[in-house]
C-alpha cells in the first residue's frame, strides 16, 4: 500500500475537505492570497489570519513527468506526477489520472478527481478536464 499522508492540526481541514469531496485551500484574510501547502501564515504578507475556502478544483498542468521506476514497490508505474496551477493562483503537486504516459499534458486544463485510499484518506488527483482544455 502506498504511504499515506498523516493529517496534522494544520492540515486536518484540507484532508477533511477531501473526505467530503471538496478541495479546500487557505485564503489570507489580509491580502486575499490563496496558498498551499497548509501554513500558519500567508507566504505573501505573513499575516496569520486566514480562512479555509473551497477551490474551484480546476487548473492547468504547469509541468509533469512520468515515473517508470517508483521509489518503492508501493507505487504502480507508470504514473504521472505534475504541478497543477489552480484557477485561484496556487500550485499543487499531484498525480494526473485518466491520461496515459504518452499524453502531452503541459498546458492541459485539468480538474480534481478524488481517490479514496483508506477509510480516513482521500487524495486529490487531477484528470484532463475536456477535449478543449489546452491553454493558449
Q: Which residues bind Zn ion (CB under 5 A)?
A: 28, 30-31, 33, 42, 44-45, 47
Nearer to Zn ion, 42 or 84 (CB): 42
Nearer to Zn ion, 26 or 94 (CB): 26
DSSP labels for 94-107? EEE-SS-TT---TT
Least distance in angstroms from the C-beta of 38 to Zn ion: 14
Question: What cell was used for 25?
Answer: 485551500
Least distance in angstroms from the C-beta of 134 to Zn ion: 32
Contacts with 54 (C-beta within 8 Å, 6 or more apart), sequence order: 17, 22, 23, 24, 25
Question: What cell was used for 88?
Answer: 485561484
> Is 25 within 8 Å of 52 (Cβ atoms)?
yes
Least distance in angstroms from the C-beta of 59 to Zn ion: 20
Nearer to Zn ion, 18 or 28 (CB): 28
Amino acid at each position: 500500500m502506498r504511504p499515506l499522508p498523516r493529517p496534522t492540526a494544520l492540515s486536518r481541514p484540507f484532508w477533511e475537505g477531501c473526505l467530503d469531496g471538496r478541495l479546500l485551500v487557505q485564503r489570507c484574510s489580509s491580502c486575499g492570497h490563496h496558498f498551499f501547502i497548509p501554513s500558519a501564515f500567508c507566504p505573501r504578507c505573513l499575516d496569520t489570519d486566514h480562512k479555509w475556502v473551497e477551490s474551484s478544483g480546476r487548473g492547468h498542468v504547469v509541468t509533469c513527468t512520468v515515473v517508470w521506476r517508483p521509489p518503492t514497490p508501493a507505487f504502480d508505474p507508470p504514473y504521472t506526477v505534475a504541478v497543477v496551477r489552480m484557477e485561484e493562483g496556487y500550485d499543487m503537486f499531484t498525480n494526473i489520472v485518466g491520461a496515459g504516459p504518452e499524453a502531452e499534458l503541459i498546458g492541459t486544463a485539468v480538474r480534481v478527481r478524488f481517490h479514496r485510499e483508506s477509510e480516513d484518506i482521500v487524495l486529490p488527483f487531477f484528470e484532463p478536464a475536456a477535449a478543449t482544455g489546452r491553454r493558449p
